[in-house]
Amino acid sequence: MSSLNLDDFTDLIERPDGGVRRDAEERRERQGLPPGALGRLDELGEWLSAAQSAVPVKTVDRPRVVLFAGDHGVAELGVSARPAGSAAALVRAVLAGESPAAVLARRQEVPVRVVDMALDCDPAELPEEVAGHRVRRGSGRIDVEDALTAEEAERAVRAGMAVADEEADSGTDLVVLGDISVGGTTPAATLIAALCGTDASVVTGRGGEAIDDLAWMRKCAAVRDALRRARPVLGDQLELLAAVGGADLAAMTGFLLQCAVRRTPVILDGVVASAAALVAQRVAFRSPDWWLAGHDSGEPAQAKALDRMALEPLLAHGVKVGEGVGGLLALPLVRAAAALSAELPERKPAEDAPAQAGLSEGDPAEDAPAADEGLPSGADRP
């Protein structure tokens, strides 16, 4: 019997402050630019104000990339362009600064944190700060067996919650959430199909490295078989994550829920983060108010999940690589929105700025006599 009751999050999570958001909207109207001149940046700045409970908004000075890593047993079926069990190589590339995410993070001066939840390698091969939260070595093959035991699923969710607390306590003011996985888009598609009530073919995409038609058909079959195992446990999100998720997805779900509790805004990266977010929304319906969708990866499952959560992607460049890259590309937009909202000056009231009314100091009109002063009786007024 699990000691973790996810239903508690429904009461723990509140929406961003609506009153603060209205104050931010009013402040924006006093900044002089016409409505809509900054497009969606206005909306982003107001969203951040509400999340921070601050007007003017505070600039985003301490963002962080958090990547949960794991291997998935379903990759043995050839549903991924990468060989099964090879996610550790991707992690090493990030740690060495040689991956796309590492390059973008370095250029933006954003630290990257990698959390190993279920990599298929010896944990001694990785730094302790990476492997310290590992739940197991690889997740089960979801088409024929559970990804995790119930105890492992709970440990993974709690690990994600702990990471969220660590980030909030360290002063992180915004998180880019992504994954490093091999086979991860298959359980992600399964979770989204199960929660949205759709068929396997509707949600199955070609992954980060564009698998061929034969691999896509194998992936469809794996999602279809996993869906049969998912439907009986739809009423319990912890059981659902254990059956057809994985340690990384379970940890990301816990992370997102606890970030909402701690009022930490999150930019979601790709389909795996979106799948975890959809599970978290099923747990606590207010939680998506704390998240932004960084980009549209082109994965049909991601589009389905974001539509269900009413999240509109900030970018649509078709970036499929994962690892937080799409979220990192969106981060400058969010930081720009915060900076503009915080630093653009407000207009001075007209009564305090006569020059704005066409008058300047010493204007003769200021010293002109009153309307009737000095005029002969009955004289015409000009």
Residues marked as catalytic: 323
- DSSP strand E in the chain: where? 63-71, 112-118, 174-182, 266-268, 291-293
* Contact predicate 23/341, CB 8 Å: no
* Contact predicate 226/96, CB 8 Å: no
Which amino acid is residue 152, in one-letter code? Answer: E
- Distance between CA 364 and CA 351 in Å, rounded? 18
Query: Quick count: other Cβ atoms within 10 Å of Cβ 31?
Result: 17
- What do you get for the CA distance between the two ends of the chain, in Å? 91
DSSP, res 137: S
DSSP, res 355: G
Distances in Å between the Cα of 365 and the Cα atoms of 58, 349, 361 are: 43, 21, 10
* Contact predicate 296/265, CB 8 Å: no
- Distance between CA 178 and CA 319 in Å, rounded? 13
* Contact predicate 59/335, CB 8 Å: yes
